[in-house]
Amino acid sequence: MKTALITGATGQDSSYLMEFLLDKGYRVFGLIRPTSTPSTSRIAHLLDQITLIRGDVGDLASLVRAVEAAQPDEVYNLAAMSFVPDSWSQPEKAIDIVAGGVGRMLEALRMVKPKARFYQASSSEMFGKVLETPQRETTPFNPQSPYGVAKCAGHRLVDVYRRSYDMFACSGILFNHESPRRGLEFVTRKITRAAAMIKAGKQDRLALGNLDAKRDWGFAGDYVRAMWMMLQQDTPDDFVIATGETHTVREFCEAAFARVGLDYRNHVEIDPAFYRPAEVDILLGDPSKAKEILGWEPEVKFEALVNMMVDAEQV
């Protein structure tokens, strides 16, 4: 029986990854921050099958203790300040957690369990104002937010530890991936929630920012499968994980409201407050390498993803 340690245990991706690994027969440990009332709603159905360890990616000593307790074969570092706009209001925290957390987790592994395999959740936000389209593993990074800068630093640290200490460490450059478990602060969930609420007569309008921003949206459940596949390879490597298709926020609105029989144009309004200080206009990933080497392909298409999210809303 293999053992996995997952940081950021209460997040969207962690919940799907835990389900996936449990189905594979893994013993699963989840790292949660030492708060008095941790929010475990996404993993509530799994609490009797997993072991939670209190620790913080901002504290090396707690990570060392977590690795000593779990003795993992695989570590999935999913802890981060995941909502990009927050990094503008708390840039120092973004750098410390998103970048520094990677270094601390790698150092804890080097000290305690250097043969464990390590997965880092890198991000398409590293490409920022893109220098080529589509974006692939060789595309230069050009981040447009403190979050993107921090993710770049974490990504480079993985490469440094891989080369310097011969550790099995790899990064998945994941493009936007959504699900019904997405936080309400994210634009996709804001849209699907509003569509359901407006249909139910409990909300009138939805205010959004840039409707013309283009993103490569996939299903989180598909993407955690790619994470696992990376750690099963003979040698560590980095991979872009994406659908290879791009859609605008406007198209997402159109599909979500159509699912409940509404025209988004009658309900969505533009609010400049939701524009970023530096906009990222388009993100489109090229998953060719993942398809060729890992044998990975996304199973849930765009329309099915939107429908899934709208249908899951409880209003």
- Catalytic residue positions, numbered: 123, 125, 147
Q: How many other β-carbons are positioned within 10 Å of the β-carbon of residue 51? A: 13
- Do the Cβ atoms of 220 and 19 come closer than 8 Å? no
Please, what is the Cα angle at 32 between 163 and 290, to 5 degrees? 40
* Residues contacting residue 27 through CB under 8 Å, at least 6 positions apart: 1, 2, 3, 4, 51
The phi, psi pair for 218, rounded to 5°, reads -130, -175
List the one residue out of 95, 76, 58 whose CA is nearest residue 9: 76
- What are the tokens at 103? 């270094």
Q: Which residue type is seen at 125?
A: E
For the CA atoms of 240, 155, 176, 309, the dihedral, rounded to the nearest 10 degrees, stands at: 110
- Do the Cβ atoms of 278 and 216 come closer than 8 Å? no
- Do the Cβ atoms of 172 and 119 come closer than 8 Å? yes
- In the block, which residue shows the tokens 């389209």? 133
Q: Going along the chain, which residue ranges are E strands?
A: 3-7, 27-32, 51-54, 74-77, 117-123, 169-174, 177-178, 206-208, 214-215, 218-219, 239-241, 247-248, 268-270
* Residues contacting residue 251 through CB under 8 Å, at least 6 positions apart: none
* Beta-bridge partners for 27: 3
Q: What are the percentages of helix, strand and coil residues in the chain, rounded to 5?
A: 45, 15, 40
